[in-house]
Amino acid sequence: MKDMDSIGIVHAFWDEVWNAHDPDAVDRFVVDDFVIVSGGETITGRENFKDWIRGFLASVDDLRLEVSESFQNEDGTRVASRWLLTGRNNGVLGTEPDQRDIALTGTAVWAVREDGRLTTNWVERSSWELSKRLS
């Protein structure tokens, strides 16, 4: 597993799911019992995760996620990244959908299984700061 390119797997996930706006692409990357912890919320299960992605995509028009930097531990079981998400407000964080430009920064730590499947994602994001700018 030491030679596994876990960063490549994570970056492909972001490109094929978030940047392509294709929640169903999740099936190619995550395990059935995938868990994401983001914004104080825990979403468990691949189908629930896909529904969560659909909701987020609906709240940000023209969403684009750019990776600032990523690091992989020695055995490839963890990837940590900093990223910038941009788009236009279509009701993100429960705000009025006014189409203003938005920017949201965050960090993500991924657990990667030996076969390259993603099992867990822990996310910290600047949601509070974004909500203040939009209010």
Kind and range of the H or E element at 55? helix 46-59
pLDDT for the residue numbered 50: 98
pTM of the predicted model as reported, rounded to 2 decimal places: 0.91
N- to C-terminal Cα distance for the chain? Answer: 47
pLDDT for the residue numbered 2: 58
Nearest to 108 by CA among 123, 130, 127, 120: 123
The Cα 67–Cα 96 span in angstroms is 27
Nearest to 89 by CA among 78, 102, 75: 102
What value does the mean pLDDT take over residues 109-129?
A: 92
- Coil, strand or helix: which one is 43? strand
The fold of 6-134 is Nuclear Transport Factor 2; Chain: A, (3.10.450)
pLDDT for the residue numbered 132: 73
The Cα 6–Cα 54 span in angstroms is 25
pLDDT in tens, 73-103: 999 999 999 999 999 999 998 899 999 999 9
